[in-house]
Structure 1
Amino acid sequence: DLGAVFGDGRALDEVRRVALDGKADMAMREAALRTLIDNKPPDLRQVCESLLGARILNATAVRGLALFDDVKIGQSLAATYGKFYPAERPAVMDTLVSRPSFAGPLLDEVARGKIPRADLTAFHARQILAFKDDPLTKQLREVWGDVRESAADKRALIARLKSGLTPEVLAQADRSQGRLVFQNVCAACHTLYGQGGKVGPDLTGSGRANLDYLLENLADPSAEVAADYRMTILTLADGRVLSGVVASRSERTVTLRLLTEETVLERSAIAKEETLPISLMPEGLLLAFSPTQVRDLLAYLMHPVQVPLPAP
Structure 2
Amino acid sequence: LAAKALTLVRPYDDPKIADAVIGRLGNFAPDATAAAMDLLTSRKSLANDLLDALASKKIDRSVLSAYYARQMTLLGDEKLNERIAKEWGQVRNGNEAMRDQIRKTVNAYRGAPLWAFDAGAGKMHFQKLCASCHLPENQNIEIAPKLQGTGAKGIEYAIENIIDPNAVIGKDYQARVIRTKDGQVITGLAQAESDSSISIRTATETIQVDKSDVEEFKVSENSFMPIGLLDTLDDRQRIELLKYLMSL
> Which TM bucket (shorter chain)?
0.5 to 0.7
Pairs within 5 Å for 1:261-276: 261-276=205-220
Distance in 1, Cα, partners of 2:150 & 2:122: 18
User: Is 1:285 aligned with 2:235?
Assistant: no
CA distance in 1 between partners of 2:234 and 2:142 (Å): 26
Match of 2:126 in 1: 182
Query: What displacement does 1:171 show?
Result: 2.9
Instruction: Provide the TM-score with structure 2 as the length reference.
Output: 0.58
Secondary structure of 2:188's partner?
strand
Q: Structure 2 unaligned runs (5+)?
A: 1-93
- After superposition, the C-alpha distances for 1:194-222 in whole angstroms (9 at most, x for unaligned) are 46863222222446551010111111101
**Which residue of 184, 192, 197 corresponds with 2:136?**
192
Please show how residues 32-181 of structure 1 align to structure 2 within 5 Å: 151-166=95-110, 168-181=112-125
Q: Report the counterpart of residue 24 of structure 1 in structure 2.
A: none
CA distance in 2, matches of 1:178, 1:251: 44
CA distance 1:238–1:278, shift in 2 (3 Å): same
Question: 8 Å contact 1:256–1:264 — kept in the other structure?
Answer: yes
After TM superposition, the score normalised by the length of structure 1 is: 0.47
Greater displacement, 159-168 / 269-278: 159-168
Aligned residue runs from structure 1 range 6-21, under 5 A: none
1:203 counterpart = 2:147: yes
Identity %: 29
Task: Find out whether 1:253 has 2:197 as its counterpart.
Answer: yes
Write the distance in 2 (CA, Å) between the matches of 1:166 and 1:181.
Answer: 20
Change beyond 3 A, Cα 1:196–1:297? farther
Secondary structure class of the residue paired with 1:243: strand
Partner of 1:303: 247
Partner of 1:227: 171
CA separation in 2, counterparts of 1:161 and 1:178?
A: 16
Residues matched between the structures, number: 155
**Aligned AA for 1:223?**
A
- Cα deviation, residue 282, structure 1: 2.2
Structure 1 residue runs without a partner (length 5+):
1-149, 305-312
Residues 208, 302 of structure 1: 8 Å contact kept: yes
> Partners of 2:111 and 2:103 in 1: how far apart?
15
Distance 1:205 1:264, change over 3 A: farther
Contact 1:248 1:256 in 2 (8 A): yes
Go from structure 1 to structure 2 and tell me whether the alpha carbon gap of 1:197 and 1:183 turns closer, same or farther (over 3 Å shift): farther
Q: How many angstroms apart in 1 are the aligned matches of 2:98 and 2:128?
A: 24
Q: Distance in 1 between matches of 2:104 and 2:193?
A: 43
Cα 1:302–1:289 shift into 2, 3 Å: same
* Equivalent position SS for 1:231: strand
1:167 deviation in Å? 6.2
Following the alignment from structure 1 to structure 2, what is the Cα–Cα distance between the partners of residues 196 and 168?
Answer: 34
3-state SS of paired residue (2:190): strand
Classify the secondary structure of the residue corresponding to 1:191.
Answer: coil
Q: Which has the higher contact order (CA 8 A, sep 6+)?
A: 2
The change in CA–CA distance for 1:205 and 1:270 in structure 2 (over 3 A counts) is: farther
Aligned position for 1:218: 162
Q: Is contact 1:169–1:295 with CA below 8 Å preserved after alignment?
A: no
**Higher relative strand content:** 2
Shift of 1:190: 1.2
Q: CA RMSD in A?
A: 1.9
